[in-house]
Every structure is written in C-alpha cells, then in structure tokens.
C-alpha cells in the first residue's frame, strides 16, 4: 500500500455489510483514487452458497476486498477497505479488521436479517461502528428509528440513511462514522 510521507495520520476504516448491499459501490463513490476491486463473475459454483434472491441482477461479487483512499485534510487520510459479504469469506474479516479504527456497516432494510451475522463479526472484532441504511431503487424508505430498533442496536449507535451510489450521500454516512469515532476518542 502506498503511504504518502506528507500524511501524518492515516486511519483504516472498514466498509462492511452482507452480500449485495453496496460495499464496492460505496468505496467507488468515495475514493479519490481508482479503487482496487477484486470483483469476479458469479458462477454456478456459488449455487447453494450465495442467496441471489435479494439481488437478482447481480453478476459479480467481491472475492477478497475493495480498497480506496479519501483525504480529509492534507495530514489526515482514510484508507477504506471493503470486505466480502459472503459467510465463506469471514476469515478474511479478521485480517482486514486488524488496525481498523471503525466500520461503516451497510444494511438493506428489505434484508435486515442478513445483517445480524455481519454485526456479530464487527462486534467480535471490537470495532466501533455506525449503520448506513442503503437506499435501493423501487424499495420503500424505512424510518431510521425502526431500523435501529429492528437491529437491536445500543442507543448510542448512529444510524443514517444513504444512497451509496451518490458521493455526497455516501460521504455523509462516512462522516457519521467519523464523528461517532471522534466522540468516543475524545
């Protein structure tokens, strides 16, 4: 990984979530560099492993990680690491979580039940997190308080709506995480 000698603070942030929730898209919207993507075509080998019912038009999947960079100032850079969403890749999460300051957990409000294993991993690795409720075309908007309650989150866990296809919206979700981290570190 390229580290700029003029940057005095680099922070590792994970972008996590279940399969098909928008992690790769989020990093693509936020990164100031061409993101590193490890996308591969979904093949017959995934039958029985990956549930495509919630994402019938999905043709590729992350098989290792995504990586992007976002400079917040001349001296502060966020390194964004996107994790694969499938259960079979959870061993990679442990490695990717090492040194991470926090995680933006993306959820699809139409598939909240798929978020519980992700939240379990984030908590197991001791990561501070915020929830980004991703908007998808053709789906209803859910009140954020209801999503917070349905996920059984602690009262101080921030939940923000976002559309990860939009740089400003994805950025606001990331800002929510960064502000949450700052309040805990102060």
Question: What confidence tens digit (pLDDT) does each residue in 13-25 have?
Answer: 999 999 889 999 9
The predicted structure's pLDDT at residue 25: 93
Tell me which residues of the chain have a pLDDT lower than 50.
Answer: 1, 47, 58
Predicted pLDDT at 101: 95
What's this model's pTM, rounded to 2 decimal places? 0.83
Handedness of CA 129, 130, 131, 135 (dihedral sign): negative
- pLDDT at residue 1 in the model: 46
Q: If DSSP codes are grouped into helix, strand and coil, which group holds residue 25? A: helix
Distances (CA, A) of 6 to 9, 41, 69, 86: 9, 38, 15, 37
- Look at residue 75 in the predicted model and tell me its pLDDT: 85
- Rounded Cα–Cα distance for residues 92 and 81 (Å): 11
């Amino acid at each position: 990984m390229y580290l700029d000698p003029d940057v005095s603070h680099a922070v590792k942030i994970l972008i996590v979530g279940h399969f098909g929730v928008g992690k790769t898209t989020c990093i693509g919207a936020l990164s100031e560099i061409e993101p590193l993507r490890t996308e591969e075509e979904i093949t017959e080998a995934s039958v029985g492993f990956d549930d495509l019912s919630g994402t019938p038009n999905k043709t590729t999947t992350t098989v290792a990680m995504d990586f992007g960079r976002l400079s917040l100032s001349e001296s502060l850079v966020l390194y964004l690491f996107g994790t694969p969403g499938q259960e079979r890749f959870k061993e990679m999460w442990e490695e990717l979580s090492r040194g991470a300051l926090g995680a933006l957990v993306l959820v699809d409000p139409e598939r909240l039940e798929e978020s519980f294993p992700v939240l379990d991993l984030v908590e197991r690795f001791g990561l501070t997190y915020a929830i980004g409720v991703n908007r998808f075309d053709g789906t209803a908007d859910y009140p954020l308080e209801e999503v917070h309650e349905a996920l059984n989150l602690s009262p101080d866990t921030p939940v923000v709506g976002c559309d990860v296809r939009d740089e400003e919206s994805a950025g606001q979700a990331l800002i929510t995480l960064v502000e949450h981290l700052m309040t805990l570190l102060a």
